Amino acid sequence: MDVREALYTTRAMRRVKPDPVPEEVQLRILDAAIRAPSGGNSQAWRFLIVDDSEQIAEIGALYSDCIDMLWETIYKDQVAEAAAAETAESRQFAKIIKSVTWAQKNFASYPLLLFAFDQFDTTGGSIFPAVWSAMLAARADGVGSSLTSVLLFKNDKTLDVLNVPKDQGWRMACCVPMGYPTGTWGTAGRRPAHEVSYRNTWGTPLGAEVNEPLWP
């Protein structure tokens, strides 16, 4: 698969089938992840693959509670706006709520979770390139994924389920549920580059517009 196809079409795939992800695919995902950069090439990361259905169901119960907390706190305003559905943004957010609600109800049927941990990393810059590499490598094998840090709402309980030591500086960065998607891949719609980019100093226009995706 062309690198641009992966970069453009690896959108959040929450609706996946319960079919298992074969070990050889799991290993390709992990081997891609560890090629990513980290500060000082420290590679101070751990990856935890969860494919035991009881473990996944336990995480799913925590995930469901965390999503409820997410809607009631950080995204409280967006949830209200999504219900009113008066703008394109709010209708887009309503789609995300629907997709996340699917994940909440069907979490136990995910065949695979990938957890990533970093150590003494204050920016996230030494773990999220690896996580994103894992998701792109999964995409190349037809495996869908979505990235969530919502379990941080129940960090202690999640670490307990996964048996993660709490005295060594390891931080849970995220959980990435994975599986073969029920839907189709497509280019992710986004606010165009020139609306979120500047040249040389903050606020100075880029000097060019990108009104259509530059791939394919």
Residues in 100-129 that interact with its own copies by CB under 8 A: 123-125, 127-129
Q: Is the CB of 50 or the CB of 178 nearer to its own copies?
A: 50
Applying CB under 8 A, which of residues 132, 143, 153, 179 lies at the interface with its own copies? 132
88 is a contact residue toward its own copies (CB under 8 A):
no
With CB under 8 A as the rule, give the number of residues binding its own copies.
Answer: 85
One of 173, 178, 179, 181 touching its own copies (CB under 8 A): 173
- Find the shortest distance in angstroms from Cβ 179 to its own copies: 17
Phi, psi angles (nearest 5°) of residue 142: 80, 10
Nearest to 186 by CA among 2, 52, 3, 8: 8
Q: Which of 37, 9, 47 is nearest to 124 (CA)?
A: 37
**Which residues ranging from 66 to 85 are in contact with its own copies (CB under 8 A)?**
75, 78
Residue 148 CA: distances (Å) to CA of 67, 195, 212: 10, 26, 28
Span from 14-22, 60-68, 102-110, 197-205 in contact with its own copies (CB under 8 A)? 197-205
Cβ density class 40-53: b for 16+ within 10 Å, e for less: eeeebbbbebbbee
